[in-house]
Amino acid sequence: MASPDATAGGGRMSLTAKILIAMGGGIVTGLILNAIDLGFLNSLLVDGLFTMIGTIFMNALKMLVVPLVIFSLICGVAGIGDIGALGRVGGKSLVLYIATTALAIMMAIGVSLIIGPGSGFEMSGVEVGSVAGKEAPSAWSVIADIVPSNPIAAAANGQMLQIIFYVIVLAVAALMLGDISKPFLQGCEYMNELMMKIVEIVMHFAPYGVFCLIAKVFAQEGLVVFLPVLGYVSSLVLALVLHCFVVLMIIFKATSGLSPVTFLKKMWPTQVFAFSTASSSATIPVNYRNVTERMGADQSVASFTIPFGATINMDGTAIMQGVATVFIANVYGVDLGVSGYLTVIGMAVLASIGTAGVPGVGMVMLTMVLGQVGLPLDGIAIILGVDRLMDMLRTAVNVTGDAMVTVVVAKTEGKLDIAKFNDPDAALESGHELDIDPEAEKRLADAVHPQGHSPAE
């Protein structure tokens, strides 16, 4: 099975290289369109063609998420075969996800207090009064909502925690039934392989989708939006970089003993993809393939930790909330004090659990945090202009945390192929993902319609 970073035979360019070129081309194209007003042509390209292709690509990725999570998780639970081991995997991943999120927002607040973004900010030209708040959920409701009243509705609405809960119960029940479940589990194995093949088909068109998504963002936003909030942007970028390349890698080395350099090299293609889509959920198929095929994590672990992390692990978003809270407090001249920042840390961790990993969700979570510490929600309007671009960076950090926890948990459970992790060429040997074997195609056709019988018969 080929990975997103696979290179084809005959020197064909790797998919990662194509995506990087598409991303660079999208940035240049978007900035040109933003700088030069071509009137109808701009509208035709940005609001028409780019939006259409980008939406199609994102929808194609999202259509993979629920069935991939369902079948891979069933196969994963069956592969573990031990409910106690499943509990350990869940417990370890939950502790690591919550711990990294708490560390992320504490570090973000620390960086922001040192830099002091927002001090002396002029409010002129900022449209206020347009941001609606959302009530913060209680810890009780977060836990209660994990159990779905209607699993079909949960799957239709992409409620990932509810899906994970139901599928684990389903898989455990199948294990308890014993041999009678073999046909069911074999069918799930096939469906899992089938979904991974569909992932390959969709990823074949990734460069086109990435180009349109990036071009649209930069055509609409440009670089001018950074100037009024340069302090906020610089603080946020610094905090994201520190967390991704320092904090997470220290945790990774301390808990696994593996090389952070090797991890980051293999993580790069997924980070690029996450940056392009700005969606942790849409990146689930890519991240899952990366940690299993490139890093050697067993699917019995990755099938749980990757979708689980895409739902509750919001390190990048937590960092944004910490920086944004300090920035908005400075803008309005409010001193939150120690108790206020402790409230921000607690709220950010709580709000991250069960929040969908889709573009723009960080702003919804930020309204909860600001409401708890008494800061005006109008302050969000100041940073809305740069949020889409910052969201792309945050998502890259989020998926890095998901992969890091997956590899650590797999290592501690003895479910990591260390030779594959250390092999720089792991899963790079194949390349013609979309080629169809004519002989296999003929055998399958003969099996469906034996010779001498027409399809009509």
Q: pLDDT of 198-248, one tens digit each? A: 888 888 888 898 898 888 888 887 777 677 788 888 999 999 999 999 999
Give a yes or no: residue 413 inside a domain: yes
Counting Cα atoms < 13 Å in the Cβ hemisphere of 109 gives: 22
The residue-averaged pLDDT of 166-195 equals 88
- Per-residue confidence band for 7, with pLDDT thresholds at 50, 70 and 90: very low
In a domain, 113, yes or no: yes
Q: Which two tokens stand for residue 148?
A: 């779905």
Q: How many angstroms separate the first and last alpha carbons of the chain?
A: 36
Name the band, by pLDDT with cuts 50, 70 and 90, for residue 183: very high
- Predicted confidence band of residue 4 (pLDDT cuts 50, 70, 90): very low
Into how many domains does the chain fold? 1
2 in any annotated domain: no
- What is residue 269's predicted lDDT score, i.e. its pLDDT? 87
- Whether residue 51 lies inside any domain: the answer is yes
User: What mean pLDDT value characterizes the chain?
Assistant: 80
DSSP-assigned states of every residue in 386-418: HHHHHHHHHHHHHHHHHHHHHHHHHHHTT-B-H
Domain contains 439: no
pLDDT digits (tens, 9 = 90+) for 344-394: 888 777 766 655 545 556 676 777 778 778 888 777 777 877 777 788 888
Asked whether residue 431 carries a pLDDT value surpassing 50, the answer given is: no
Query: Is residue 1 in a domain?
Result: no
- Residue 199 has a pLDDT of 80
pLDDT score, position 422 = 92
Contact 354, 312 (CB under 8 A): yes
**Assigned token pair, 297:** 């994590």
Helix axes 51-80, 160-177, angle to 10 degrees: 30
Whichever domain contains 212, its CATH number is: 1.10.3860.10
CA distances from 372 to 187, 259, 309, 325 (A): 48, 40, 25, 11
Residue 18 within a domain: yes
Domain that holds residue 269: 10-425
The answer to whether residue 181 is domain-embedded is: yes
Give the C-alpha distances (Å, rounded to integers) separating 50 from 26, 54, 138, 392, 426.
10, 6, 40, 17, 34
